[in-house]
Amino acid sequence: MRKAYGGFFPLLILWVCLLTGQEKAPTQNAKCLACHGSEASISDKFKMNENNFLGSAHGRTACTDCHNIHPGEAEEDLPHKKDLPDVNCTATCHREGSKTGMDTTPLSYPDSVHGRAYLERGVKEVAKCWDCHGKHNIRPASDLESSVNRKNIPLTCSACHEDMHVVIKYHIHREMPYQEYMKSVHGRALFEKGLVQFAAVCTDCHGAHNIQGVGEPHLMAKQPQTCGHCHELIFDEYKQSIHGQQALAGNVDAPLCIDCHGEHGITSPKEEGSPASAKKVSHTCSSCHARPEIMQKYGIPQDRISTFIDSLHGIAVGFGYKAAANCSSCHGVHEIRPASDPLSKVNPANLQRTCGQPHCHPNMPQKIATAKIHIGAEQKNPPVLFYIQRILFILVIVVLTITVLWFIPGFIKKAKLLKK
């Protein structure tokens, strides 16, 4: 019982203080509004809309709670100096912790890419509290009219990140992230389907107050764990794959989600433009598997992409045949494992089942399923395939030669007849 009272009295005192402050606020604010009200004869830059302020989250607070005066000045000294100290939202307020860790609270802003630029280097164009939350019209994030409501966050961020003056001046690596996001699977889910609570927005991937710069290690927006907050089942598969194991162990060569799916413009693999689509997935895989320095480092054959492109599957994919097998058809998507792993789809013991998928080659014999797929034109093993390829190549040359030899004399003959 004593503990209950011990927790009640501080709350009671705080409540009384708040009520007292709310009673004094209108009187104190009246002095400020005499000069800064909407009807005052002052520059619009320094005016405040009283109705917007009263309807905001701070509607019952005093102006001086946020706007401090210079040392040596008194509140009754009017007019005050024009260059008031910057507002510090965490000086006495917004110091609350977070259930998910202190790095997501307003107190983490000084350590963010925005906070360091503003507080350490004095960059004025960088995002500050009021640039994202508003000034005198601040509303709770749950309010649909709030600039930090989930449905409005992409547009709020775009105010700076689609300003080409800012993008060029500060070397921001993405020029039009908002335009890309709008066309993405996440953006369409938010803007077209209205899935406000489910569609990923900027802060889900980059953080809120603790946003870090692109060059920072363990960048939140690049971490598979970040995508895993929404895509749990896929992340569980990825963690067990060779890519996921290496990435989570800190190997910088391992592909992350964004390496295969993109960043702001993520689209469904069913769309032709997606880097994970059937037609483009081999090109996406080539960003690593066609790099000799990486393949040599991990003892992986360097010709896997080129031999696939030259194969019947690769040729069919190149012609746009959607049913043709691509990299992910055989190796898997998020659950890719090395061939030596008994659970790998390309492990010799599993090849018959992999090739015999209903939409590929049902009832394929084991002997055919274990035949080599990645065979280059210069390889003579198995010799039968090598010589068949050579014979077909020679036949094509012979047919083309005969055609040309037959066509040229006929063309010359017809040309002479036309001259007559």
- DSSP states along 227-244: HHTT-HHHHHHHHHSHHH
162 and 63 share one domain: no
The per-residue pLDDT for 5 is 44
**In-domain check, residue 24:** yes
- pTM recorded for the entire structure: 0.78
Query: Which stretches in the chain have pLDDT values below 70?
Result: 1-27, 75-78, 97-103, 376-383, 385-386, 420
62 and 112 share one domain: no
120 and 29 share one domain: no
**In-domain check, residue 94:** no
Instruction: Return the structure tokens found at 313.
Output: 């599957």
Rounded CA-CA distance 238/96 in Å is 35
The per-residue pLDDT for 379 is 57
**In-domain check, residue 31:** yes
The set of residues, in sequence order, having a beta carbon less than 8 Å from that of 47 and lying 6+ positions away, is 36, 37, 38, 40
**In-domain check, residue 220:** no
149 and 195 share one domain: yes
Rounded CA-CA distance 94/84 in Å is 21
**In-domain check, residue 189:** yes
Rounded CA-CA distance 4/173 in Å is 54
Which string of b and e fits 205-236 if b means at least 16 CB within 10 Å? Answer: bbbbbbbbeeeeeebbbbbbebbbeebeebbe
**In-domain check, residue 99:** no
**In-domain check, residue 167:** yes
**C-alpha 85: how far from chain center:** 36
119-130 pLDDT per residue, tens: 999 998 899 999
If one counts the domains in the chain, the total is 3
33-76 pLDDT per residue, tens: 888 888 888 888 888 888 889 899 998 888 888 888 777 777 66
74 and 117 share one domain: no
Residue 391, classed as helix, strand or coil, is helix
155 and 195 share one domain: yes
Q: What is the residue-wise DSSP string for 276-303?
A: TSTTTHHHHHHHHHT-HHHHHHTT--TT
- Dump strand ranges (E) for 161-221: none
Percent of the chain beyond pLDDT 70?
Answer: 88
The per-residue pLDDT for 14 is 39
| Distances 90 to 59, 108, 141, 339 between C-alpha atoms, Å | 18, 10, 18, 55
278-308 pLDDT per residue, tens: 999 999 999 999 999 999 999 998 889 999 9
166 and 131 share one domain: yes
160-185 pLDDT per residue, tens: 999 999 999 988 888 899 999 999 99
The per-residue pLDDT for 295 is 94
**In-domain check, residue 195:** yes
Backbone angles phi and psi of 16, in degrees to 5: -65, -40
**C-alpha 362: how far from chain center:** 38
The per-residue pLDDT for 19 is 45
Rounded CA-CA distance 145/155 in Å is 12
What is the signed CA dihedral for 315, 318, 322, 323, rounded to 10 degrees?
10
The per-residue pLDDT for 44 is 83
Rg for the chain, CA atoms, rounded: 33
- Cα torsion angle, 290, 291, 292, 294, sign: negative
Query: Which range marks the domain in which residue 81 is found?
Result: 16-85
